[in-house]
Structure 1
């Protein structure tokens, strides 16, 4: 693409965005648009298409680890920063929405936040959402980060942190990088062990959510706890 064609293409894309909104742009065009400032002299269309081909979706491209993004020809550290900043902004937006409400009164906000934060992670994370007696959010902490299919979880550490926060309820969360959120026997056993330790202390485990790719499961919803 020549310099004038390149400039004209960018201007046309900007005008479409301004006049008709992001819904008028295909996924690769929105990725192009996001990369304009970070790559002012490059044709970002082939890079955007390569991102979608490699990672399979717009959201997965934004959430991809830096090491994998560096495998895409044409992406600089600055452009990777730009993509990861967008992903971080999405997660922070959902977290801010969660902060405004009692999590149990806005369950979809909880799910939106967890999906944005965890669904594309390539390693398992175990996090705990700590709640007060009115089910208000006290803290949201990543307790452990593991491998592609295992995270060590220490139930007594989970409860120790609950006592530190004076929390009276918990929501347990972890992701399955495989994309399949079906709970394993180990997931169920670990959850029940935490419940057994928490219950005598007056701490309720409301649920254990497993986050997969574009879907999640609730152990309480499945009547496993």
Structure 2
């Protein structure tokens, strides 16, 4: 007889996953399955449901800031770190795809990467993806980390780094913590300043993607680049 009163439920959930795959599980059950490795004796279901209630969906749970996750009832540091590690693995996996395939052939990977990396950030970040001549990712670097609605950006620093990497193109990324990905006048202005700074170096600005919880906006698609 097992010492864990939840063992029978755990075994049944694992079996359903192995036999029928993730489609057979509700979101809270899939999250439960993930928590089994760090919630050893307690019932993981209430924790999974509390996380989803707080952060709306699985992407929100995994992308939420560490301290916010720890505030959920039943969640300690071990659970929070476990979830953030899973999120980091997902981000790194999408980043690997961008390093091995040309950006133009893996645009869906790029959008997934942007969403995973930035959609749930509570501070505004401005990042630059540097691309080689084959349009493969060289580096993803942070150039501005600000308050909830402002991240200072310095075009000369971006130009200097593009020279160091011998980049042929860049993609600009930043998030709107408000959730609304609409391009602001300030977004348009800084994009044009960066284009002017990179123009003499023959470094092309392919796009500026703005991400929020409500979606992702392409300034290129809107004719703003």
Please list the CA deviations of residues 37-68 of structure 1 after superposition, one character each: whole Å capped at 9, or x if unmatched. 10101111111111111111111011111111
2:199 counterpart residue number: 199
Q: 1:114: how far off?
A: 1.0
Residue in 2 that maps onto 1:62: 62
SS at match of 1:144: strand
Unaligned runs of 5+ in 2: none
* Secondary structure, counterpart of 1:177 in structure 2: coil
CA distance in 2, matches of 1:55, 1:169: 36
1:185 is aligned to: 185
Give the aligned partner of residue 173 of structure 2: 173
Supply the distance in 1 between the matched residues of 2:198 and 2:99 (Cα, whole angstroms).
24
| TM-score of the two chains, using structure 1 as the length reference | 0.94
CA contact (8 A) 2:123 2:148 kept: yes
Deviation at 1:214, TM superposition (A): 5.2
* Partner deviation per Cα, 1:150-203 (whole Å, 9 max, x = no partner): 111111111111111111211111011111110000000000011111112211
SS of residue matched to 1:224: coil
Query: For 1:132 and 1:21, how far apart are their aligned partners in 2?
Result: 38
The CA distance in 1 between the partners of 2:209 and 2:31, in whole Å, is 30
For 1:1-225, what aligned pairs fall within 5 Å after superposition? 5-213=5-213, 215-225=215-225
Contact 1:63-1:120 at 8 Å conserved across structures: yes
CA distance in 2, matches of 1:18, 1:120: 30
Q: 1:144, 1:189 → 2: CA distance?
A: 15
Q: Distance in 1 between matches of 2:214 and 2:13?
A: 29
Counterparts of 1:5 and 1:73 in 2: how far apart (Å)? 21
**Structure 1: which 4+ aligned runs deviate by more than 6 Å?**
none
Q: Give the 3-state SS of the residue equivalent to 1:99 in structure 2.
A: helix
Q: Distance in 2 between matches of 1:35 and 1:4?
A: 15
CA contact (8 A) 1:121 1:177 kept: yes
Residues paired across the two proteins, number: 224
Q: Secondary structure at the match of 2:161?
A: helix
